[in-house]
Amino acid sequence: MSIMHYIAASKELPLGDYGKKKSKETNIEKIKKAIRIKSAEIPKDSVPLEQIMDLSFIKEDEIEVYDSIEDAAGIFIHSIFSWEDAVRKQFKNKFIYKVTPNFGNFILNDKIKSSDNETYKANTKCISALFDYIRRYICDNEEVEIYTCWAGEENKERNHHLNMLIELKTFSIGDSFELKERQYILIKV
């Protein structure tokens, strides 16, 4: 199963990728078939992908290049599918979208920070990209809602103990943050 994150607003929101920072080496003209992270290292005892499958069909100018995983991190906003309509009961706002973290997640804590600094940076970037997106597309005095649940559990009751109100004008991420399972967050801009 996968954890799903949804965002709801009173107006239509733009779809797409947000927060990524492509390397200067990226050729923007062609559609990309692969991604390369320049700083990524292959873990010890791992087999490079090129040794498992033929990647010769991918031309160099069809590869999106990032200098680090943090640079590749961001969010992807897309429409919900019809089988996800059950999630509508979690929101009062009409326009609902799925928000997916890319190359990171919506969780920060001391354990991640001390054990895997690159993941911590990517996660921080995903969370920052989400709040930057909200600041950019939601006007003053508007509200946006976020709800997180496991795939297939969109109609389960919220965990009301996890409900949260965020006043965006005074909010800062800090060292610890997480979008938790069955958590509802109301964000006031």
Least confident of 38-42, 70-74, 97-101, 160-164: 38-42
- Which tens digit of pLDDT belongs to each residue from 33-48? 566 676 666 667 777 7
Does residue 174 carry a pLDDT above 80? yes
DSSP summary character for residue 87: G
Helix (H, G, I), strand (E, B) or coil at 147: strand
The pTM score is: 0.84
> pLDDT tens across 159-173, in order?
999 999 999 999 998
Within 9-116, residue ranges assigned H as helices are: 49-52, 69-72, 110-115
pLDDT at 61: 73
Beta bridge partners of 7: 97, 146
In terms of C-beta density within 10 A (0-12 exposed, 13-18 middle, 19 or more buried), how is residue 160 classed?
Answer: exposed
pLDDT at residue 95, as a whole number = 98
Could you tell me if 175 and 114 are in contact, meaning their C-beta atoms sit under 8 angstroms apart? no
Residue 158 pLDDT more than 90?
Answer: yes
pLDDT at 45 (0 to 100): 73
- At 69, is the pLDDT very low, low, confident or very high (cuts 50, 70, 90)? confident
CA distance 170 to 176: 16
Residue ranges per structural domain of the chain = 3-20+76-188, 34-66
- Over residues 104-137, the pLDDT tens digits come to 999 999 999 999 889 999 999 999 999 999 999 9
pLDDT at residue 154 in the model: 95
